[in-house]
Structure 1
Amino acid sequence: MPDTAVVTGAARGIGRAIATRLTREGWQVVVADLDAAELQSVADETGALAVPGDTSTDAGVRHLVDTAYDHLGHVDVFFANAGIGTLKGLDASDDEWARTLETNVLAHVRAARHLVPRWLDAGGGRLVVTASAAGLLTMLGDAPYSVSKHAAVSFAEWLSATYRHRGIVVQAICPQGVQTRMLDGSGPLKDLLTLDATLTADEVADAAWQALATDAFYVLPHPEVSGYYEQRAAHPDAWLAGMNRLQQKLDHQAQTSTTPTSTPTSTPTQENA
Structure 2
Amino acid sequence: MDLRGKTVVITGAAGGIGAALAHRFAAEGATGLVLADLDATAVDALAQSINRGLTRSVTCDVTDPAQVAALVDVAHREFGPVDLFCSNAGITTGTGLDTTDEAWGRAWAVNVHAHVVAARAVLPSMVERGAGYLLQTCSAAGLLTAVGDAPYAVTKHAAVGFAEWLSMTYGDRGIKVSALCPQGVRTPMLDHGLARGHAGAQVTAAAGEVLTPEQVADAVVEGLAAERFLILPHPEVATYHQRKAADPDRWLASMRKLISRVASTA
Alignment of 1:46-57 (within 5 A): 46-47=50-51, 48-57=55-64
Give the number of aligned pairs.
Answer: 254
Which runs of no fewer than 5 residues in structure 1 stay unpaired?
258-273
Alignment of 1:154-193 (within 5 A): 154-187=161-194, 188=197, 189=199, 190-193=201-204
Alpha-carbon distance, 1:249 to partner: 3.6
- TM-score, structure 1 length as denominator? 0.90
Match of 1:109 in 2: 116
Alpha-carbon distance, 1:250 to partner: 4.6
CA contact (8 A) 1:33 1:53 kept: yes
> Are residues 1:63 and 2:70 paired?
yes
Distance 1:229 1:61 in 2: 33
Match of 1:86 in 2: 93
Match of 2:214 in 1: 202
Residue type at the aligned position of 1:7? I
Identity of aligned residues (%): 48
Which runs of no fewer than 5 residues in structure 2 stay unpaired?
none
CA contact (8 A) 1:11 1:38 kept: yes
- What are the Cα deviations for residues 154-195 of structure 1, in whole angstroms up to 9, with x where unaligned? 000000011101100000010000011111111333331122
- What are the Cα deviations for residues 60-86 of structure 1, in whole angstroms up to 9, with x where unaligned? 211111111111111000010000000
Distance 2:72 2:111 in 1: 18
Distance 1:144 1:57 in 2: 20
CA contact (8 A) 2:62 2:110 kept: yes
Alpha-carbon distance, 1:57 to partner: 1.6
Residue type at the aligned position of 2:15? R
- What are the Cα deviations for residues 128-162 of structure 1, in whole angstroms up to 9, with x where unaligned? 00110000000001011111100000000000011
Name segments (4+ residues, structure 1) moved above 6 Å. none
Residue type at the aligned position of 1:31? L
Match of 1:40 in 2: 44
Distance 1:141 1:185 in 2: 14
Alignment of 1:244-263 (within 5 A): 244-252=256-264
Distance 2:67 2:103 in 1: 19
Residue type at the aligned position of 1:192? V
CA contact (8 A) 1:57 1:102 kept: no
Alpha-carbon distance, 1:210 to partner: 1.3
Distance 1:251 1:56 in 2: 35
Match of 1:260 in 2: none
> Are residues 1:30 and 2:38 paired?
no
Distance 1:56 1:236 in 2: 34
Structure 1 SS opposite 2:8: strand
Structure 1 SS opposite 2:225: coil
- What are the Cα deviations for residues 1-42 of structure 1, in whole angstroms up to 9, with x where unaligned? 341100000000000000111112221100000000000110
Distance 2:12 2:29 in 1: 20
- TM-score, structure 2 length as denominator? 0.92
Distance 1:85 1:117 in 2: 30
Of structures 1 and 2, the one with the larger relative CO (CA 8 A, separation 6+) is 1
Q: Among residues 14, 20, 26, which one is paired with 2:17 in the alignment?
A: 14
Match of 1:119 in 2: 126
CA contact (8 A) 2:146 2:152 kept: yes
Distance 1:97 1:247 in 2: 23
CA RMSD of aligned residues (A): 1.2
Residue type at the aligned position of 1:241? A
